[in-house]
Amino acid sequence: MSKQRALVIIPTWNEAKNIGQLLKEIVDNYPQVDVLVVDAQSEDGTGKIVEEMSKQHPQIRLITQKEQGKFGNALKLGFKYAIEHGYDPVLTMDGDLSHSPRYIKEFLEKSERYDLVIGSRYIDGVRVEGWRFRKLLISKLANMFVSYVLVKPIWDFTSGYRCYRKTFLESINLDELYTEAYIIQIQLLHLAYQNHFRVKEIPFIYKGTPDAVSKVSKHTRHKTFRYVFKFRAPLWEIFRHLVYLKREYERFVDEYDEFVNPPELKHEGRFAVKDHYGISIGVMAYNEEKIIGKCLRALQKQKLSSGSIDEILVISSGSTDKTDQIVEEFARYDSRIKLIKQAKRMGKASAINEFLKDAKGDIVIIESADTIPGEETVEHLVRPFKNGEIGMVGAHPIPVNKRNRFVGFCVHKLWELHHEIASDSPKCGEMVAFRNIVSRIPKYTAVDEAAIEAIISKAGLKLAYAPKAIVYNKGPETIRDFFKQRRRIASGHRHLQALIGYRVTTLNTSRIIKYVVKSQRWTIKEIIYMMFLILIEATARFFGLLDFYLRDKNPFIWDISLTTKHIEAHS
């Protein structure tokens, strides 16, 4: 339960038959909750009943609207009252007994983690009692229509049974809220998502009656239909949402929730700035028998003065070769090394979450098992954290591919551009270090480093780039593998940008062209190679766009490029 005092707002108009019973249930079962009835000058004595009950129960308050106001005006009056008197959280419910008070406990519990909790009649099946089929069908279809226009993972947009945190109510202009019943509910939900507040939908049973007459006029219902478009998503997003309907809609809801409701930070985002840090390294592996030994030996040989490597956790995601045996052999002689097995391959983000769950160091480092760090790479990654404003540091990847071949040229050129861009605007990739405040990353992301960047940036911390933190990697050796890699990265970046609004610096085409011109060697061979590289990159980005918008393809489980799985040792 919330430690602060909660308030239940009940807008009423001619509820004399029900309001007494409803208030009695609330005060009897929730003595720690105050109740505010906002009455729209009822003509059946509702206000007098509430006034009499408030004399017996001090936790009940009554506000009467000056004029016969609309539902939205009642909510605005109630919200202003709640903010003025310091209530948190704030619940809203109908006064006709359709919303049972027995759910208040669950609303209060969920409000500890979410800024807006919605009581849903349609999540996990229809939960409505007492309605005629025609009314139920119209309500369900109306909510489906709103979901298609707003593109939000919500089943019940018009439910009035809700719980709001004070921080959300204070963040919006209450005077700009609409007065119509359905419109204000949709508007509040839109504002919650627009401002990246955490939203949760919980099921409840709505108890109606076949003969109940809606207090919402036909004019208001028609007006709602038009006003929904004021909150519509971009057309491309609506189109993509409709594509989902043919596939896994449940994944859309889960995926959207993952991104819009970001993970809570460990230790509430608090950390200590030290001269010497404990370090946890997570090595993500899938069938890496050719390289995992070299990677682990390179980590064992690290030269450090800014910290110490306390643990090296290898997350093996469904490996079917000798990767696990090799790691277990290392673990026999080095107590810092531990193997964590995933029964099946579920994507790198899933493996990273396994690591973050167990990592104990002040600083955590994520590395792919098919890379080899230089002997002072970890030191250069950790050193910037002596500045308390730094939250994440990226290494400097250098490919080992032969540059004299076309694909090798492409791989080198892209990482050189990455280096130039990251030197001006830090961008992390291949091997990253960050403060151990990230509890998890979205499991559906295909660009894990960028997702971590987004979380760290949202926490108010800065990114840094360590050009001396060298990590050797192997790029693709065939045009097919190179194109496939660039295409899935393009799709992953679109996915991240669309859902949480985070745009990586390499999506800025004009900036990339500037660096291309700056670094280009103007020989005939390299000019020709560069032209073909631009063509491949542009085509890959175009197909990545199609994958995202038209094919609902989010490659969070990457197809493996076998040509990247062997790296010669570097001194």
pLDDT band at 483 (very low <50, low <70, confident <90, very high): confident
**Rounded Cα–Cα distance for residues 549 and 132 (Å):** 39
DSSP, collapsed to helix, strand or coil, labels residue 355 as: helix
Higher pLDDT, 570 or 407: 407
Residues of the chain within CATH 3.90.550.10 domain(s) are 6-233, 266-564
pLDDT of residue 220: 58
Q: What percent of the chain shows pLDDT beyond 90? A: 32
pLDDT of amino acid 377:
95
86 in Cβ contact with 59 (< 8 Å): no
DSSP state of 45: S
Taking the C-alpha atoms of 303, 305, 306 and 310 in order, what is their torsion angle to the nearest 10 degrees? 60
- Is there a cis peptide before residue 58, judged by omega within 30 degrees of 0? no
Over residues 30-71, the pLDDT tens digits come to: 999 999 999 888 888 888 998 888 888 989 999 888 776 678
Residues whose CB is less than 8 angstroms from the CB of residue 532 and which lie 6 or more positions away in sequence, other chains included: 406
Phi, psi of 364 (to 5 degrees): -115, 140
Q: Which CATH number fits domain 6-233: 3.30.460.10, 3.90.550.10, 1.10.3720.10, 3.40.50.720?
A: 3.90.550.10
CATH of 266-564, one of 3.40.1390.10, 3.40.50.720, 3.90.550.10, 1.20.1050.10: 3.90.550.10
Q: Which residue has the higher pLDDT, 525 or 189?
A: 189
pLDDT at 552 > cutoff 80 = no
Q: Which of 84, 32, 78 is nearest to 59 (CA)?
A: 32
Mean pLDDT taken over the chain: 82
264, 267, 270, 272: CA torsion to nearest 10: -140
Alpha carbon distances (Å) from 72 to 79, 163, 169, 180: 10, 16, 14, 5
Contact 427, 506 (CB under 8 A): yes
Q: How confident is the model over 317-349, as pLDDT tens digits? A: 888 999 999 999 999 999 999 999 988 887 788
Judging by beta carbons within 10 Å of its beta carbon (0-12, 13-18, 19+), is residue 556 exposed, middle or buried? Answer: buried
pLDDT of residue 418: 80
pLDDT of residue 215: 52
Lowest mean pLDDT among 137-141, 213-217, 436-440: 213-217
Q: DSSP labels for 137-182?
A: HHHHHHHHHHHHHH--S-S-SS---EEE-HHHHHHS-GGGS-SSHH
The pLDDT of residue 249: 59
Task: Determine the average pLDDT of the residues in 264-284.
Answer: 91
pLDDT range class, residue 556, cuts 50, 70, 90: very low
What are the residues whose beta carbons fall under 8 Å from the beta carbon of 196, sequence distance 6 or more? 260, 262, 500
* CA dist., res. 31 & res. 47, Å (int): 22
Report yes or no: 107 and 20 within 8 Å, Cβ to Cβ.
no
pLDDT tier at 495, thresholds 50, 70, 90 = low
Q: Supply 192's token pair.
A: 């919650």
Average pLDDT of span 533-557: 73
Beta-carbon contacts of residue 560 (< 8 Å; ≥ 6 apart): 286, 287
170-207: per-residue pLDDT in tens?
999 988 888 777 788 888 988 888 887 888 888 888 88
Report whether pLDDT(436) > 70. Answer: yes
